[in-house]
C-alpha cells in the first residue's frame, strides 16, 4: 500500500489533493509497517538453513472525510486505493546462538500494482461548486526491507526481538498519486511472544513494535512515529491444519511534521480482525506451510479503511524438519 498526492493543478485539483491529505496520516495515509504481516507462530525459532517465503497481499481501501477551507470553503472527498502485491522473502537462520537466542537474517522484495483515485467537490459560501477528480495506476517494484530476528524457546513459550528497515528504492514520484515506494527511510523494531502447547493443540502469538520515519527529501514531509500490534490465535483441528482468528491495531503516536505538512499533524489509527487457516504440507525432504488470513478494518481515523487478505506460503530447510512455521512477510 503506497501512495502519494502531489502536483495536482488547478483549483479543483488542489481541492482533491487537500482532501486526500486530510483523509490521511503518515504521508498520503501510508505507513512503513504493513499491519497483519506477523501472524501464527511468529516468535517460534526456525530450522537452521535457508528458507523461502512468498506472500500475496490484496487490499481494498477507501475513505470519506470533510475538511474546512478558510473563508467558509468546504471539501467533500472520496479517496480509493486498491492494491495487489507479491512479497518474496529469503531468510537464513543460523544454528549459532547469540545471548542464548537463535539469529536469522532476511530481505523482503515487493512487486505489485497500486491504483489510487481521488475526487472532491469544493463548495463556496454562495453555494457555487467546483468539482475535480484524478486517478493513477502504477506497476513495479517496491522498497526493500532487510530484517533480523533473535528468538528463544522455553518449552511452550517462545520469545523474539526483531529489527527492520525500509530502503526507499521502490517506484515513487511525488508528482503522481500512485506509488509503490514511500520516498523516505524508515526503521522499525519490537518484540514478540508465541505460546504453543502441542498437547492442548493451541497457538497464540503477539508482536508489537515501533516505527521511526525519516523526512521525505522530495516533499519535506516527515510522517509521525507509529505503534503496531499483530495478534494470532488458532487451535489445531488436525495434525496438519489449524483454524483461528487474527487481528491488529495501529496507532500513530506523534503527528506529521515538516514544511511539506501544510495541513498540520494528523494522527492515524486503524484496527482489523478476521479469520485465518493454516496447512502443513509435506514436500519431499522439506515441509511447506500455507497460511490464509483476512482482516476487516474498523475504527479508522485519518486513514484509509477497508479489508485486506494475505496468502503466505513458506518452505523450510530440508534438515531437522519442524512442524510449525512463522507466518510473516
Domains of the chain and any CATH numbers: 11-315 (2.40.128)
Q: When comparing pLDDT for 66 and 103, which is higher? A: 103
pLDDT, tens digit, 9 for 90 and up, residues 41-84: 999 999 999 999 999 999 987 765 543 322 222 333 556 667 89
Give the least confident one: 3-17, 60-74, 183-197, 304-318.
3-17
Q: When comparing pLDDT for 138 and 67, which is higher? A: 138
Alpha-carbon span 172 to 153, nearest angstrom: 41
Closest C-alpha to 256, from 59, 30, 33: 30
Q: Tell me the pTM.
A: 0.81
Position 123 pLDDT exceeds 80: no
Answer yes or no: are the C-beta atoms of 215 and 238 closer than 8 Å: no
Alpha-carbon span 155 to 252, nearest angstrom: 35
Per-residue confidence (pLDDT) for residue 78, from 0 to 100: 58
Answer yes or no: are the C-beta atoms of 230 and 245 closer than 8 Å: no
Q: Given pLDDT bands bounded at 50, 70 and 90, which one contains residue 309? A: very high
Q: What is the mean pLDDT of residues 81-90?
A: 90
Position 40 pLDDT exceeds 50: yes
Show the cell assigned to 62. 477507501
Q: Given pLDDT bands bounded at 50, 70 and 90, which one contains residue 19? A: very low
Highest-confidence segment of 7-16, 135-144, 156-165: 156-165
What rounded mean pLDDT belongs to the chain? 81
Which element (helix H / strand E) includes 312? Answer: strand 305-315
Alpha-carbon span 119 to 128, nearest angstrom: 17
Per-residue confidence (pLDDT) for residue 54, from 0 to 100: 97
Sign of CA dihedral 242, 318, 320, 107: negative
Q: Given pLDDT bands bounded at 50, 70 and 90, which one contains residue 24? A: very low
pLDDT, tens digit, 9 for 90 and up, residues 195-217: 999 888 899 999 999 999 999 99
Half-sphere exposure of 229 (CA within 13 A, CB side): 10
Amino acid at each position: 500500500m503506497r501512495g502519494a498526492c502531489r502536483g495536482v493543478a488547478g483549483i479543483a485539483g488542489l481541492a482533491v489533493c487537500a482532501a486526500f491529505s486530510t483523509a490521511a496520516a503518515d504521508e498520503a495515509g501510508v505507513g512503513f509497517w504493513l499491519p497483519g504481516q506477523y501472524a501464527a507462530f511468529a516468535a517460534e525459532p526456525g530450522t537452521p538453513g535457508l528458507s523461502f517465503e512468498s506472500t500475496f497481499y490484496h487490499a481494498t481501501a477507501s475513505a470519506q472525510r470533510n475538511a474546512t477551507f478558510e473563508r467558509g470553503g468546504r471539501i467533500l472527498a472520496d479517496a480509493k486505493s486498491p492494491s495487489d502485491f507479491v512479497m518474496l522473502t529469503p531468510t537464513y537462520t543460523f544454528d549459532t546462538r547469540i545471548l542464548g537466542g537463535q539469529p536469522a537474517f532476511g530481505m523482503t522484495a515487493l512487486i505489485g500494482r497500486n491504483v489510487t483515485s481521488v475526487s472532491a467537490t469544493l463548495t463556496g459560501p454562495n453555494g457555487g461548486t467546483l468539482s475535480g477528480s484524478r486517478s493513477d495506476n502504477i506497476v513495479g517494484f517496491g522498497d526493500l526491507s532487510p530484517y533480523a530476528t533473535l528468538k528463544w524457546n522455553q518449552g511452550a513459550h517462545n520469545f523474539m526481538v526483531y529489527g527492520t528497515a525500509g530502503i526507499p528504492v521502490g517506484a515513487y514520484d511525488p508528482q503522481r498519486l500512485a506509488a509503490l515506494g514511500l520516498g523516505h527511510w524508515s526503521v522499525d523494531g519490537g518484540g514478540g511472544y508465541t505460546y504453543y502447547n502441542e498437547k492442548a493443540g493451541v497457538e497464540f502469538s503477539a508482536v508489537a513494535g515501533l516505527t521511526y520515519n525519516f523526512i521525505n527529501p522530495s516533499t519535506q514531509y516527515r510522517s509521525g512515529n507509529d505503534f503496531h500490534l499483530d495478534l494470532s490465535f488458532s487451535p489445531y483441528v488436525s495434525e496438519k491444519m489449524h483454524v483461528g482468528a487474527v487481528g491488529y491495531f495501529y496507532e500513530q503516536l506523534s503527528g506529521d511534521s515538516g514544511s511539506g505538512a501544510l495541513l498540520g499533524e494528523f494522527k492515524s489509527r486503524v484496527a482489523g480482525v478476521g479469520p485465518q487457516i493454516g496447512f502443513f504440507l509435506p514436500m519431499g525432504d522439506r515441509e511447506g506451510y500455507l497460511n490464509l488470513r483476512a482482516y476487516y478494518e474498523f475504527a479508522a481515523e485519518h486513514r484509509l479503511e477497508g479489508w485486506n487478505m494475505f496468502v503466505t506460503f513458506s518452505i523450510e530447510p530440508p534438515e531437522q524438519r519442524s512442524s510449525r512455521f512463522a507466518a510473516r512477510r
